[in-house]
Structure 1
């Protein structure tokens, strides 16, 4: 089988296309023939920052494909099942940038009828991160679904990104009024296509004034991509007992928070990293995302507000570079035929 591997950290140049022998799934594992692999910032950051946990690593946490074999004790999957995967390379050397990958059964989810492999490969990190960001409000729900966020205002910073896109879709599905910020007219069009009710261009508008006009009592949840840039704005627009859910680290930058405004509103600041949210939160996220997929509310593609940028498996290095360069859209790698 074809696989992308690296045995040292560094630039995308460390990624190499090789031939490897498929391995039989161990007890509790399934072997998935990957059709589409999804690339996220976490993938290139893991490749760049050492040390390596294994002598050889195949990158990429997310993917979709077809179950090819099942190990002993696996009863929830059968050969031929269409699936999506998440945290595929977490504490393992076998990510989704390869034709066949063995994964614990609890990191594999059946792909509902009607959901494409492209959609499946776009879930994982973005959708589960967005779910967590939307379910840590002190007075709010821990589950998403129709009516769960009814009457709430959600501000999504960077609505044209993959996490922002999923947050818009999940929040709207759950009944929230969704406001998002963008940096250009083109990104505004994408955010509207994703379903945002209100779009604010922070380069040309007074963002705080616009948000306060929409939500006079403040927003309940901020899905925050850059707390370093937006700390002052967030403090100015949150409601009492709001939460600012921060899922990106701005390359390790340090943020400063004004004490008095945040104290006055009892604002909660919640750091969000998918890999340490715990099994219960992951399970809730997987179940709710699956229901959203069944409902058809998580489409991808330019018409849905998230353009797809495609690469063949042999050009995985270019795919990683595209994500590292903050390309607009979701980067997917075509690994094998459906």
Structure 2
């Protein structure tokens, strides 16, 4: 089979290559997936340059990257029903703490990590559900319903952010989002009630004004370190800040006193480590939203398997208008 690999950490142009490798075989409890799409996320880029936290050095002979993807089950190992053969699936945690991810024509992994796609949901969308979809859904609903509440989505034009806007609106929340000027129309189309420029010097005041002078119940945060002072000003008493990123400032100053006297819950989300119950509930909620037509997953570009370097560089460049996918196999009916 053909697979994208790297054998050392480094720049995409220096380490990514396309190799012919033996196809894996499903072991007990596993399924073999004929991959069609592989999703490229910022975490895949970081893993390629520095590895995964908790793993020292280059831990394997080679790495097939990417945690997200979609395809069709073609074989099963012992203990897995043969009824799963032919099932269209999406993948979560594909390359988390293991060497072989979704950027290959075939992938063997535990059966529970290949989730059946709802009818009518395309394989392209399936390749976006792992990290972006689960992160957005858990950030919005992980601690309960948002009906009648106000949700602030910082970075509403990002891949996770725009899904969070849609999910929060579907859940019955008033949604305020921040983004740059180029993403404004997309965020409005996603359903945000108010869209503000994240660079505004009086952003906190604008957020509160957009909520009729009332503080917000939930903040979904893409840049915790850069935005925590603003978040502390706008979050309500007993509110929650759900942070899934802080790339610009990894060692933030924490305004403890303002948060203390509002009894704010600050939650750091790492979607790889959801508990089984959390993950199952989030998958079910995500599927319900998809079946209801409440969720559109924007795809910026689908690259060929020979264009892996360009796909990684597109993610590194930022300011995307949707997810970046690599087509690794034959497009099955979706």
Q: Report if TM-score (shorter chain) is over 0.5.
A: yes
Contact 1:300 1:308 in 2 (8 A): no
Q: Which residue of structure 2 lines up, in the alignment, with residue 315 of structure 1?
A: 307
Q: 1:331 aligns with which of 310, 324, 327?
A: 324
Contact 2:163 2:297 in 1 (8 A): no
| Distance (Å, rounded) in 1 between the aligned partners of 2:149 and 2:37 | 35
Unaligned stretches of 5+ in structure 2? 52-56
C-alpha deviation, 1:253, in angstroms:
2.1
Q: Which residue of structure 2 lines up, in the alignment, with residue 66 of structure 1?
A: 72
Contact 1:60 1:95 in 2 (8 A): yes
Q: 1:173 aligns with which of 158, 162, 170?
A: 170
Aligned partner of residue 134 in structure 1, secondary structure: helix
C-alpha deviation, 1:263, in angstroms:
1.8
| Distance (Å, rounded) in 2 between the aligned partners of 1:161 and 1:330 | 9
Contact 2:226 2:246 in 1 (8 A): no
Q: 1:78 aligns with which of 56, 59, 84?
A: 84
| Distance (Å, rounded) in 1 between the aligned partners of 2:109 and 2:300 | 26
C-alpha deviation, 1:268, in angstroms:
1.3
Contact 2:76 2:82 in 1 (8 A): no
Q: Which residue of structure 1 lines up, in the alignment, with residue 159 of structure 2?
A: 162
C-alpha deviation, 1:47, in angstroms:
1.1
C-alpha deviation, 1:130, in angstroms:
1.4
Aligned partner of residue 100 in structure 2, secondary structure: coil
Q: Which residue of structure 2 lines up, in the alignment, with residue 144 of structure 1?
A: none
| Distance (Å, rounded) in 2 between the aligned partners of 1:297 and 1:119 | 13
**1:201–1:268 CA distance, 2 compared to 1 (3 A):** same
1:131 partnered with 2:124: no
| Distance (Å, rounded) in 2 between the aligned partners of 1:202 and 1:327 | 14
Offset from partner CA, 1:233-270 (integer Å, 9 cap, x none):
11111111111111113156211122332122111111
Offset from partner CA, 1:268-300 (integer Å, 9 cap, x none):
111111122322211211121122222222222
Q: 1:115 aligns with which of 116, 121, 141?
A: 121
C-alpha deviation, 1:310, in angstroms:
2.1
Offset from partner CA, 1:183-240 (integer Å, 9 cap, x none):
11x2011111222121111334732222212323311111101122111111111111
Q: 2:257 aligns with which of 237, 257, 260?
A: 260
1:290 partnered with 2:282: no
| Distance (Å, rounded) in 2 between the aligned partners of 1:231 and 1:168 | 19
Contact 1:136 1:243 in 2 (8 A): no
Aligned length: 323
| Distance (Å, rounded) in 2 between the aligned partners of 1:91 and 1:228 | 27
Aligned partner of residue 250 in structure 1, secondary structure: coil
RMSD (CA atoms)? 1.6
TM-score by length of 1: 0.91
TM-score by length of 2: 0.92
**1:271–1:190 CA distance, 2 compared to 1 (3 A):** same
Aligned ranges for residues 114-263 of structure 1 at < 5 Å? 114-137=120-143, 141=144, 148-184=145-181, 186-204=182-200, 206-215=202-211, 216-250=213-247, 253-263=250-260
Q: Which residue of structure 2 lines up, in the alignment, with residue 7 of structure 1?
A: 7
Offset from partner CA, 1:10-69 (integer Å, 9 cap, x none):
111211100112122111111111111111011111111142232111000000111111
Aligned partner of residue 265 in structure 1, secondary structure: coil
Q: 1:94 aligns with which of 100, 120, 142?
A: 100
Contact 2:221 2:241 in 1 (8 A): yes
Unaligned stretches of 5+ in structure 1? 142-147, 302-306
